[in-house]
Amino acid sequence: MKKVAAAVLGACGVVSLAFAADTLGTWQPLKTASYKIFSGESVADAQAPTATNRKLSIVVDGQAAKEIFDSIGPDERDACSSTKGDRERNNGAVQCMYTTNNPGKGYRCWVGVDLVNGKGIPTVSC
């Protein structure tokens, strides 16, 4: 009986560790992401990168964007879009939008980095 109890407890421990490892944030592939290296204030007014002005913007779509969106709430009160149902969330260098009128897009997030100083920056504007 003691061996059975030990085996059950051991199995529970392994399952618990496996569950804990799974909730710790394992690496996930980005299937729908693109990047742009540019200079200027935002992607909207992007210019060719220079030695002193190089910024990186990574845009992520789909499920990965939804997970990022869900992680950085709450919604902005003064969102760029006035379309009913559209939502926006921003947290420093991470900017996300949920769009209802763009089938197939839904969630989209941008992550920005100033490549000269290594600091996170917002890279999209309204």
119 in any annotated domain:
no
Average pLDDT over residues 12-23: 42
Residue 105 within any structural domain of the chain: yes
Count of the separate structural domains present in the chain: 1
Residue 87 CA to residue 81 CA, distance in Å, equals 8
Question: In this predicted model, which residue has the larger pLDDT, 4 or 29?
Answer: 29
Say whether pLDDT at 60 is over 80.
yes
Q: Which of 3-7, 59-63, 99-103 has the highest mean pLDDT?
A: 59-63
Residue 12: inside a domain: no
pTM of the entire structure? 0.76
β-pairing, 94-98 vs 33-38, is unpaired
Q: What is the pLDDT of residue 34?
A: 96
Residue 1: inside a domain, yes or no? no
Average pLDDT of the residues in 83-109: 89
What pLDDT is attached to residue 22? Answer: 52
Would 122 be classed as within a structural domain?
Answer: no
Answer whether residue 48 is part of any domain: yes
| Tokens linked to 27 | 């690496």
Hey, what long-range contacts does 50-55 have (CB within 8 A, 24 or more apart)? 52/116, 53/116, 54/114, 54/115, 54/116, 55/112, 55/113, 55/114, 55/115, 55/121, 55/123
> What mean pLDDT is reported for the chain?
82
Q: Which domain holds residue 69?
A: 31-114
